[in-house]
Structure 1
Amino acid sequence: MTWQLRHATPADVDAIMALETSTFDNDAWSPEMMARDVADPNCYYLVAFPPDQPERIEAYAGLLAPRGAPEGDIQTIAVAPAARGRGLGRTLMQALIGEARKRGAREVFLEVRADNPSAQRLYERLGFDEVGVRRGYYQPDNVDAIVMRLVIPAPTMEATA
């Protein structure tokens, strides 16, 4: 299956929240928090959908990266179970990292549940390193968050012949 990505809009919040609440049982964001972030110009949210079904959101991801700030933060990412294992999470992450670079960020941070090894492996493959632990960060489950950081390489110019 192939997907298309597009910038999320406030009209997508209901579909995003359906995926959010089904993916994150006890620590899902509230609809108000999600709507605020999707509408915030300092944030960049993407949704993924099958090309022939633009209303069927199968994944989303969000970045907080004010223009000119040296750091960005991956706020959230979720992929529907039926769409997992096909590189969609990696594609979304790469798009967010690219947007962070465009906005001037030199580092991107994220938190990942300590009990989510598949997400940790994805982030490590993308170049993120563990930099700390936030004890009991995910509530009410009292699960630690592993804080990870990616140093974004400065863009390089190549000479053409």
Structure 2
Amino acid sequence: MIHYRDARTIDGPALAAMARQSFTETFGMLYPESDLSAFLDEAFGPNGLPAQLSDPDFAIRLALDEGQIIGFVKMGPVTFPGEWRPDAIELYQFYVLSDWHGQGVAQELMAWSLDHARSHGAREVILSVYVDNHRAHRFYEKYGFHDIGRIAFRVGATVDDDNLMRLVL
């Protein structure tokens, strides 16, 4: 049975391991091993995602099955370059392990994300998504997100294009 709860600092190692697994299963084939490893260490190492669990600027919601993290979403202040409304919030990471795709986990996490944004006074949600991640694009578009531009996303020495997307609440 899948249940959901807010992340706690003690979840750091398990959350980092799940994020590494999810990113690798989705995008690992796109990058040389050295680039992938550098990205995973920076994003999900001790100074990355686990450190943000104790940062009050971030909110992280977990999906768990039999105590194992199978998905999560992270929300916080907008950090993309440019001018952003003061009442905008960023959806940073939205990961669900592939074995749980199509089981409602993403929809539950998105519902929490939008409720979180509204309850914190946000009037828009901003995110970035890899240009060739068509599954994610379709998912976000179902909720009303639309493309507003492009941004570079670095994985080690590799630089990819991401689409910036916005949802006005």
Residue 86 of structure 1 and its aligned partner are, at CA, apart by 1.7
Residue in 1 aligned with 2:17? 18
| Candidates 129, 143, 146, aligned match of 1:112 | 129
Residue in 2 aligned with 1:46? 61
Ranges of 4+ aligned residues in structure 1 off by more than 4 Å: none
> Where does structure 2 lack aligned partners over 5 or more consecutive residues?
25-35, 79-85
| Candidates 146, 150, 161, aligned match of 1:133 | 150
Q: d(CA) in 2 for partners of 1:14 and 1:81?
A: 20
Q: Does residue 124 in structure 1 map to residue 141 in structure 2?
A: yes
Q: Percent identity among equivalent residues? A: 26
| Candidates 133, 148, 152, aligned match of 2:165 | 148
Q: Does residue 34 in structure 1 map to residue 33 in structure 2?
A: no
Residue in 2 aligned with 1:59? 71
Q: d(CA) in 2 for partners of 1:37 and 1:110?
A: 18
Q: Deviations over 1:22-46 (max 9, x none)?
A: 1223243132211222211121101
Q: d(CA) in 2 for partners of 1:30 and 1:19?
A: 9
Q: d(CA) in 2 for partners of 1:119 and 1:138?
A: 19
Aligned partners of 1:8 and 1:45 also within 8 Å? yes
> Where does structure 1 lack aligned partners over 5 or more consecutive residues?
153-161
* Structure with the bigger percentage of helix: 2
* Bigger relative CO (Cα 8 Å, ≥ 6 apart): 2
Aligned partners of 1:65 and 1:103 also within 8 Å? no
Q: d(CA) in 2 for partners of 1:48 and 1:64?
A: 18
Residue 134 of structure 1 and its aligned partner are, at CA, apart by 1.0
Say how many residue pairs are matched.
145
Residue in 1 aligned with 2:8? 9
